[in-house]
Structure 1
C-alpha cells in the first residue's frame, strides 16, 4: 500500500540500540519465551495514555504481564452479542487460556478520557454525544460512575471519576461468567489501582473501593 512508510529514524535507532544491548544480554530468555510460549502471572488493563508505563512502574520483564490498553482503562459489561469486542477478547484469553492469577486495572490521574466523559455527562461536550463518536460511545461505559460522583463538589468530581473508572471496570469484569467462576474458586484475584503521574504514587482500592490507600 502506498500509504505505508518506513519507520522514522529515531525509532530505528532505538531498535538497534535495544537489539545490541538488552536483547543481546538476554537472548536465551527471549528464545525460551518464543519456544515455550508465554506464562504471565498477571493481566494488566491500563489506559492508552503515553505517560502510563506499567512495565516500568513494576520493573517487569518480557513475559511477565499480559497487557491490554484502551481509552481510560475501561472494561465493558459482558455482552456476547456477536460484535467485535477487543477488550473482552483480551480478558477471555488471559483468564481461560493463560490462566493468569491476577487481573489488575490501572487507572491514572489527568486522564483525558475520564475528563471527556465528565464533560460529556455534564452536558459540556456535545460532540461526544454524537453517535459517530467512537470515544463518546466507549466512554458510555463510565456513565454509571459519573452518576456516583455527580453530587460531589465540582472540583472533586473528575478525580473521583478516575477512581470510578477502575471500579466500574472491576464491577463489569465480574459480569463475565469465566471471571466470576475463577474469582470465586480462588484461582483469580482482581485488583484496582490509580497511578498519580505527577508524584509517582500508587493508590489501591480497599474495602470494595470504598477506601483508597497509598501503596
Structure 2
C-alpha cells in the first residue's frame, strides 16, 4: 500500500512540474523584448530631406508660418557623437536654402524613448527589433513594430526595414468639437535603428485643415543609397 501511495504522489508531482514548465515556456515566449541596444556607432551620419504639405477646406484659412518654413529646408543632418548603451548622443545641423544654419546637440534613450532637448531629433530606435516588439521597451510608449520588410537601395543592396503605423486622437478640453487625428507611418533601418522615412499627417476639425510632414533619408555613410 505504501508503494502504491508513493507512486500516486510521484505522478501528482510530475503533473504539477509539467504544468509549471509549460506555463513558464508559454509565458517566456509571449513576453515582449525586455530591452534595446543602440545599433549606431560614433561617426555615423544621416542626412534627411524634410517637406511639408498643407491643405484647407476654407480658402480664408492660412498655413501656419512655422509649417511653411519646412519647405525651405536644404538638409537636416544627424551625426552620432557618443554611444553609451542605451543612450545615443548626437549633433544636429538644420540648414535652410537661404544659407541659415542651426546647430545643436541632443540625446536619445533607445529603451525609454526619452530625448533631449524636447524639440530635438528623436527617431533613433533599438537595433534588431522584430515584428511585435515594443519600439520603446522600457518607456511609456506601447507602440510595436508592425512588420519587417526588405528595402532595396540599388547599388547599396537590400536592408531590413521595420515599419510602425500609428493613429492618435487629440481633443480640446475647452472645445470638444475641436479635434486632431494624427496618422503616423515610420520606417527605420532594422540594423542601426535609424529613421529611414516618416509620414505624419494631422487632420484638424477646426479650422478644417490637413498638415503633412515627411522625412526621407537622403544620404548616409553607413550604407549606399542610390
Shared topology, TM-score over 0.5?
Answer: no
Higher helix share: 1
Q: TM-score normalized by structure 1?
A: 0.27
- Answer 1 or 2: which has greater strand percent: 2
- Is the radius of gyration larger for structure 1 or structure 2? 2
